Structure 1
Amino acid sequence: MTTKLDKVLYTAKAHTTGGRDGQSRTDDGRLDIKLSPPGQPGNGTNPEQLFAAGYSACFIGAMKAVAAKTKATLPQDLAIDAEVDLGPTPGAYGIAVRMNVSLPGMDRAAAQALLDAAHQVCPYSNATRGNIDVAINLV
């Protein structure tokens, strides 16, 4: 089932050349990066690193939204260590994600409930659900 947007709030635009060994730049110039294949020499980043950064930042935003609605207090030093695996699948390539979430000082049951709720509202979680393996781990 395809999810349709009720309203477009923002559109990100990037121009990319050269693929995994190229360059990408957003239309506003805020991001202008060199790309290098993962695990190979080069001074650029790769799509998996960008996905890890984007998903983890978005997930923190989802946690903040859930916390605001539930009146939960998030620790100032909350953090996510995101890991994105790249590997072969039958006839193609795929990715898998692990989000290792640190919520120091927060009650474990409350923290887990927050993560579960955030995983339901995060746009990246909704985009990947049922398509790739995603583990959200409270560490």
Structure 2
Amino acid sequence: MSEKIVYTTAAVNTGARAGESHSPDHSYELNIDVPKEMGGKGDGTNPEQLFAMGYSACYHAALDHYKKEENIDNDSQVTLTVHLHKDPTDGGFKLSVEIEVGMKDLPEEKVKDLADKAHTFCPYSKATKGNINVTVKAVPYVEGK
């Protein structure tokens, strides 16, 4: 039995890290550029930023799933940091991720429990499991962050 596909999307890139990416229907387009830290101009977004944005939104949706399941309506925030490392095995690069979860007026132990559950449920977390180092931790909620 095959798994049911519920959504499909695509992106087109020209110019690699110094180019442009867009949806096939051109409803979403953005400039891609090498970060200044890597010798580029930094005049656009980069793949690591896009990955961080997508992963953080997907992870937060998984967190909301468990908050709803437990009737918790406290405000929450997810800060997902992507690191690009030199890979000594092939001279290329590899990623690691830090996920920090804060929830307003909730004990740190409860936040950590929900954060860990979300990590097992999030499709990005499932996709990266065993492939990149990902750490998940509870942090204080910062108003207006």
- TM-score by shorter chain over 0.5: yes
- Count matched residues: 134
- Residue type of the partner of 1:56? S
Give CA deviations for 1:19-58 in whole Å, capped at 9, x if unaligned: 0001000134342100001222132100000011111000
Runs in 1 of length 4+ with deviation above 4 angstroms?
none
Aligned position for 1:55: 55
Alpha-carbon contact 1:74-1:103 (below 8 Å) kept: no
Match of 2:9 among 12, 15, 18: 12
In structure 2, what is the Cα distance between the partners aligned to 1:38 and 1:72? 42
Aligned position for 2:118: 118
1:60–1:30 CA distance, 2 compared to 1 (3 A):
farther
Alpha-carbon contact 2:35-2:42 (below 8 Å) kept: no
Question: Displacement, 1:85?
Answer: 0.6
Aligned position for 1:73: 72
In structure 2, what is the Cα distance between the partners aligned to 1:67 and 1:5? 30
In structure 1, what is the Cα distance between the partners aligned to 2:50 and 2:98? 14
1:31–1:7 CA distance, 2 compared to 1 (3 A):
same
Alpha-carbon contact 2:80-2:98 (below 8 Å) kept: yes
Give CA deviations for 1:69-110 in whole Å, capped at 9, x if unaligned: 2x231422x212221111111103100001111112112222
Alpha-carbon contact 2:52-2:81 (below 8 Å) kept: yes
Instruction: Give the gaps of 5 or more residues in structure 1.
Output: none
1:36 correspondence with 2:33? yes
1:45 aligned counterpart, secondary structure = coil
- Percent identity between matched residues is 34
1:22 correspondence with 2:19? yes
- Residue type of the partner of 2:100? N
Instruction: Give the gaps of 5 or more residues in structure 2.
Output: 140-145
- Residue type of the partner of 2:112? Q
1:136 correspondence with 2:136? yes
Alpha-carbon contact 1:52-1:84 (below 8 Å) kept: yes
In structure 2, what is the Cα distance between the partners aligned to 1:38 and 1:121? 31
1:6 aligned counterpart, secondary structure = coil
